[in-house]
């Protein structure tokens, strides 16, 4: 295993489920460039793997990811930041067609909070700590922290979080819409995997269309979004999974989906 590969560990806790575990414990999983590359490469590969139907991303009990690695950034010039291409690593995660579940324990700050917001479902521990503290070091969020956060929790909550740079708890994150569920810290990963296992049993084509249409629709008009929804709805009637699902329901048996 290379040094880059060891920064993100790939596990398969259940059929159809991939688990990506950030592995920089000495730095609280701070997101340096090699880790970002490894995570992007995994998301790209898993997105193309027909055997994988859901992905869980997690860190450790102490830290999901404590932000960017400032040692890489402190002396960087604007041109260096412009040409580094970090946005391409984030894009690979955002473009993954498979549902992504973030299992968040401990710190999810700065880039760690932004990584969680790249997921489709966030399971937070009661002791989790979400935040965008960039203002406290003279910069602003640079991987969606001002945009995804606003879309998730609204302008007024987002302004407070980003302007003050103060963290919020897992419970508060769930209350304002930044997390899907909050559970005891020792149940976070098990709950995320349980959800991923349920998704993995569902028809892959329908799951993929749901993610695609939901994400595309949130940034367009309602009428355009409804057109996208109707097109995807109609398209799925060309699939064998649609026939299998409806027939199984009528015959009162469990369906067997093949992604066809």
Domain limits, the chain: 3-200, 204-250
- CATH topology for 3-200? 2-enoyl-CoA Hydratase; Chain A, domain 1 (3.90.226)
Asked whether 220 and 227 are in contact (CB, 8 A), the reply is: no
Domains 3-200 and 204-250 fall in the same CATH topology: no
pLDDT band for 3, please (50, 70, 90 cuts): low
- The pLDDT tens digits of the residues spanning 79-124 come to 887 777 788 899 999 999 999 999 999 999 999 999 999 999 999 9
Q: For residue range 33-58, what is the model confidence (pLDDT) as tens digits?
A: 999 999 999 999 999 999 999 999 99
Among candidate residues 40, 134, 179, 206, the one labeled active-site is: 134
Q: Exactly one of 67, 110, 111, 170 is catalytic; name it.
A: 111
**What spatial distance separates the first Cα and last Cα of the chain, rounded to whole Å?**
35
Q: How far is Cα of residue 118 from the mean position of the Cα atoms in its chain?
A: 4
Query: Per-residue confidence at 73, pLDDT binned at 50, 70, 90?
Result: confident
The mean per-residue pLDDT over the stretch 16-39 comes to 95
Percent of the chain whose pLDDT exceeds 70: 98
**Does residue 152 have an active-site annotation?**
no
Model pTM greater than 0.85?
A: yes
- Cα(158)–Cα(161) distance, rounded to whole angstroms? 5
Residue 235 in contact with residue 181, Cβ under 8 Å?
Answer: no
- Residue 68 annotated to the active site: yes
Of the residues 30, 40, 54, 68, only one is catalytic, namely: 68
- Active-site hit among 40, 54, 63, 114: 114
Homologous superfamily in CATH for domain 204-250: Lyase 2-enoyl-coa Hydratase, Chain  A, domain 2 (1.10.12.10)
- Provide the pLDDT for residue 1: 54
């Amino acid at each position: 295993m290379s040094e880059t590969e060891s920064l993100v560990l790939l596990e398969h806790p259940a059929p159809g489920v991939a688990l990506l575990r950030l592995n920089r414990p000495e730095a609280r999983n701070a997101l340096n460039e090699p880790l970002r590359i490894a995570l992007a490469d995994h998301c790209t590969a898993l997105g193309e793997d027909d055997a994988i139907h859901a992905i869980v991303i997690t860190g450790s009990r102490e830290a999901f990811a404590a932000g960017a690695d400032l040692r890489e950034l402190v002396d960087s010039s604007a041109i260096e930041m412009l040409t580094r291409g970090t946005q391409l690593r984030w894009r690979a995660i955002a473009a993954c067609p498979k549902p992504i579940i973030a299992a968040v324990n401990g710190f999810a700050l700065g880039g760690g909070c932004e990584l969680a917001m790249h997921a489709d479902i966030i399971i937070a521990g009661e002791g989790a700590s979400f935040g965008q503290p960039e203002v406290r070091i003279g910069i602003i969020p640079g991987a969606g922290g001002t945009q995804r956060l606003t879309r998730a929790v609204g302008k007024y909550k987002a302004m407070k979080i980003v302007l003050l740079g103060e963290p919020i708890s897992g419970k508060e994150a769930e209350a304002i819409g930044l997390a899907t569920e909050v559970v005891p810290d020792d149940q976070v990963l098990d709950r995320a995997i349980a959800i991923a296992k349920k998704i993995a049993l569902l028809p892959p084509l329908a799951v993929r269309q749901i993610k695609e249409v939901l994400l595309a629709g949130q940034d367009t008009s309602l009428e355009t979004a409804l057109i996208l929804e109707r097109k995807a709805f109609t398209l799925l009637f060309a699939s064998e999974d649609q026939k299998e699902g409806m027939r199984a329901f009528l015959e009162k048996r469990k369906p067997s989906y093949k992604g066809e």
